[in-house]
Amino acid sequence: MDLNYTAEELSFRDEVRAFVRDQLPKDISRKVLEHRRLHKDDMVRWQDILAKRGWLAGHWPKEFGGCGWTPIQIHIFDEETAAQGAPRLVPFGLSMVAPVIMAFGSPWQKEHYLSRIRENKDWWCQGYSEPGSGSDLASLKMRAVRQGDRYVANGQKTWTTLAQFADMIFCLVRTSTEARKQEGISFLLIDMRSPGVTVRPIIMLDGEHQVNEVFFEDVEVPVENLVGEEGKGWTYAKYLLGHERTGIAGVGASKQELVTLKEIARREQRNGRPLAEDPLFAARIAEVEVELMALEMTVMRVLSARGKAPGPEASILKVRGSEIQQTLAELMMEAVGPYALPFDLAAMELDYQGERIGPEDAGPLAAHYFNYRKTTIYGGSNEIQRNIIAQMVLGL
């Protein structure tokens, strides 16, 4: 792999860098770089700016209204936006259900839903996990029974990220109990405003409302919202999970977090000298930096496999990416020491005027640390990913 950018790629990098510098709202950038609370409006504002530029779905093929970016361009965009404090794009529509619709959806679904995702008109969420059906997703119990030109759905989904904002949810549902459990699953697109849909919050360890329980009681779904064939949902789910796990790697965001960690280490003092000069702590920073470099190269190799969706190798990206994210959060907490101890949810707001006992950026770090404990669980726990790697990559 040639690690040097071409002249065209350097020009694209400069274009992205200049655009983000000029168009990214400064209040949003501060929130991201200081680990403060992002509101729905913050994410929508930034995605609207990208949609207007034609870059919200820049990674999509041109035939579906994207820019047809190369893997290198996708990587550059991710890195440059993260470096300047842009929020990570909400992936459920753009990078998860959209590829499934492109590959398996009907002409109407492609025309209707892809345009709305590309223009930032619909907020999507993911209906996969259920109580008792997380790592063993094929055991899901939510039912959808066909009645004429509609399915009637009943059941529950859980850990549904940002469902409180969502217009649409893509759901795995059981449409048959006759075949083996993987073969009786279908993939439905459900309007969250439908009668019978109830969203209840789950408050996380960091005190935030980010995930939810979603209940479905006699929810009617038009048959035209079935993706592909009935009973083939497990195939589509695995296709989607490859895209999700690749995205979880989060190389661009982790590179910016590494910059922040180094700045904190240079600022904080231990025994009269900067923490960055402590041999043991410096070695730990160097170790995570090397791991991040290796992950970046592996992500590039996966993205460069043109013409096919990410396969089981995406599990490697998910495992290493999530572990690196947790390590960076841990090291920042350790670096600021007792300054991160006060856990005040109000300090997560950008306009917080309360008492501070240390640097301004230290207050939100405890919540940031708690939030990132989830990364090794969502998208398929890392234990399950290691089984996939052993069986599907190593052939053990």
286-345 residue pLDDT tens: 999 999 999 999 888 877 765 566 678 888 999 999 999 999 999 999 999 888 876 778
The angle subtended at Cα 82 by Cα 76 and Cα 86, nearest 5°, is 120
Q: How far apart are CA 141 and CA 43, in angstroms?
A: 33
Per-residue model confidence (pLDDT) at position 394: 83
pLDDT band at 346 (very low <50, low <70, confident <90, very high): confident
Burial class (CB in 10 A: 0-12, 13-18, 19+), 286: exposed
Structure tokens at 155: 């059941």
According to DSSP, the residues that pair with 209 across neighbouring strands are 203
12-46 residue pLDDT tens: 999 999 999 999 999 999 999 999 999 999 999 99
330-343 residue pLDDT tens: 999 999 988 887 67
Asked if residues 377 and 358 have their Cβ atoms less than 8 Å apart, the reply is no
In the chain, the domains with their CATH numbers are: 7-89 (no CATH), 124-232 (2.40.110.10), 249-393 (1.20.140.10)
Per-residue model confidence (pLDDT) at position 307: 53
Active-site amino acid positions:
244
According to DSSP, the residues that pair with 156 across neighbouring strands are 215
CB atoms within 10 A of CB 345: 13
